[in-house]
Structure 1
């Protein structure tokens, strides 16, 4: 199972929920798709009845979720999706979530940190790299990310001078 995002709040009085997807995962969701929520150690399937964009979030309705008790159970839950249901990618392509936890090193083999996530800013994808409880934002583009190995979770970068020091201000 992969985590697509999190249910962050309820929306209105019709059993709708506010869902915040992790970057790049919203393309996997559509009405009729099956998602899962975790209750203790069990995975509970839900059919996505509706899925509407609202700003950076989505308003979703899960089939069968109508009572206050069911809605409250959903709040704060991560939305899970079976990895085997992901569309197949071409050779050399990968999903961003596959890089979470990858080690990032410079071409000189200096460890920069570990990938914690991705987000969009001004039309560019930024990679969030953490080390020693600090975050470094690195543009996720071919000019900087020279080598991406999703299987071995290793990314080699060639950052422009000063990029890694920007977060020290």
Structure 2
């Protein structure tokens, strides 16, 4: 399994007790979808290593997990900070205007007023505001991801229909004009 074939499910936070249990943080809106998982991949020294789960107990977006072969606090401490991954095929299928960031890579972007603008090049997770990176007239334009901007996700035609905030494209093009004036 390669990292680009996986999504990050969470991260190991800290040990719990003396018997190798760990607290993990789950980076998902629906932690209950992972209540029954039997294994995960943990990124260690650049490689994905399978870890089998003896038991898991969810509490909001955290879980208390006991992995096989993690027998004591020292073993558990050595795993702190490692990220947990699952194959992309394990992601629940989204419908409607919900989408996974990796899913829209290469989608065309069509604005309600300006028509087809460009192609999704990258998605930036910026904490408070996730952004779609697109090239438009030779410039990178960042489009906010929210329900007011993303109107429709057409998976069959690999198309995102958007309603860009007024002046967004012009803002990026004006930066060029200002640089030319200097």
TM-score, normalised on structure 1?
0.60
Alignment partners' CA distance in 2, 1:157 and 1:136: 9
Alignment partners' CA distance in 2, 1:85 and 1:25: 13
Query: What is residue 180 of structure 2 aligned with on the other side?
Result: none
Instruction: Answer yes or no: is the 8 Å Cα contact 1:104–1:115 preserved in 2.
Output: no
For residue 11 of structure 1, report the CA deviation from its aligned partner. Answer: 4.5
Alignment partners' CA distance in 1, 2:158 and 2:24: 28
Map of 1:12-161 to 2, 5 A cutoff? 12-14=16-18, 15-24=20-29, 26-40=31-45, 41-47=47-53, 49-54=55-60, 57-64=61-68, 65-87=70-92, 89=93, 96-99=100-103, 101=105, 105=109, 107=111, 108=114, 109-110=116-117, 114-117=122-125, 128-129=130-131, 131=133, 137-139=144-146, 141=147, 144-149=149-154, 155-161=160-166
Gaps of 5+ in 1: 120-125
For residue 26 of structure 1, report the CA deviation from its aligned partner. Answer: 2.5
Considering fraction of residues, name the structure with more helix: 2
Alignment partners' CA distance in 2, 1:103 and 1:153: 5
For residue 116 of structure 1, report the CA deviation from its aligned partner. Answer: 2.6
Distance change >3 Å, CA 72–CA 50, structure 1 → 2: same
**1:36-89 CA distances to partner (integer Å, 9 max, x unpaired)?**
2133435223216113224xx3032133223244313322222111334445x4
Root-mean-square deviation (CA, aligned residues, Å) is: 4.1
Instruction: Answer yes or no: is the 8 Å Cα contact 2:96–2:152 preserved in 1.
Output: no
Query: Matched residue pairs, number?
Result: 154
SS at match of 2:161: strand
Alignment partners' CA distance in 1, 2:99 and 2:54: 22
Gaps of 5+ in 2: 134-138, 172-182
Instruction: Answer yes or no: is the 8 Å Cα contact 2:132–2:142 preserved in 1.
Output: yes
